[in-house]
């Protein structure tokens, strides 16, 4: 995996916060599959920019600005996962690879429209199933 971006950190920290209520450097390192040393470096930057703060005894916590951003980033990730699932992309490794690759490049407007499409497919599955049924089966590389 390439070096995680600031957005990857904020998304990961938000995910961990949702699960555990607090975040430690080791949690982030584990989540992003990187060393604790590289995490510490980015944490300094996130603190400087007002995304993250250190809470006594509890560890790291997102600021309100960080929480809002983290929530948004996770939602973006999940919309893309749902879209791939609708496309019948089921291999978890492929889903992870593709979503991690494209998520940073979606504008808010495009993402909003994609979210509307995903919701529409959920509500009106018939036409979409017809589309999926006629997809050629692509041999795996």
Phi-psi region of 5 (alpha: psi -120 to 50; beta: other; left: phi over 0): beta
> Which positions from 55 through 74 interact with Ca ion, judged by CB under 5 A?
none
CB of 76 to Ca ion, least distance (A): 8
User: Which stretch, 6-14, 42-50, 54-62, 120-128, contacts Ca ion (CB under 5 A)?
Assistant: 6-14
In the complex with Ca ion, the residue whose CB is nearer, 11 or 27, is 11
The total of other beta-carbon atoms located within 10 Å of residue 66's CB is 23
Taking the complex as a whole, the smallest distance from the CB of residue 69 to Ca ion amounts, in Å, to: 13
CB of 131 to Ca ion, least distance (A): 26
CA distance 62 to 67: 6
Residues in the chain: 141
Tokens representing 83 are 């879209």
Helix (H) or strand (E) holding 61: strand 59-62
**Residue 77 is a binding residue for Ca ion (CB under 5 A):** yes
15 touches Ca ion by CB under 5 A: no
Cβ 122 to Ca ion, closest distance in Å? 22
Q: Are 33 and 1 in contact (CB under 8 A)?
A: yes
Write out the residues near Ca ion by the rule CB under 5 A: 11, 77
């Amino acid at each position: 995996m390439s070096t995680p971006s600031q957005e990857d950190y904020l998304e990961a920290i938000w995910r961990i916060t949702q699960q555990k209520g607090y975040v430690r450097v080791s949690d982030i390192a584990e989540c992003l599959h990187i060393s604790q040393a590289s995490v510490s470096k980015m944490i300094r930057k996130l603190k400087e920019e007002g995304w993250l703060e250190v809470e006594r005894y509890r560890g790291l916590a997102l600021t309100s600005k960080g929480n809002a951003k983290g929530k948004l980033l996770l939602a973006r990730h999940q919309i893309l996962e749902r879209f791939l699932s609708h496309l019948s992309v089921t291999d978890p490794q492929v889903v992870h690879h593709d979503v991690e690759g494209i998520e940073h490049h979606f504008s808010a407007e495009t993402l909003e429209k994609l979210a509307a499409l995903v919701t529409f497919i959920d509500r009106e599955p018939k036409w979409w199933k017809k589309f999926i049924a006629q997809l050629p089966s692509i041999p795996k590389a």
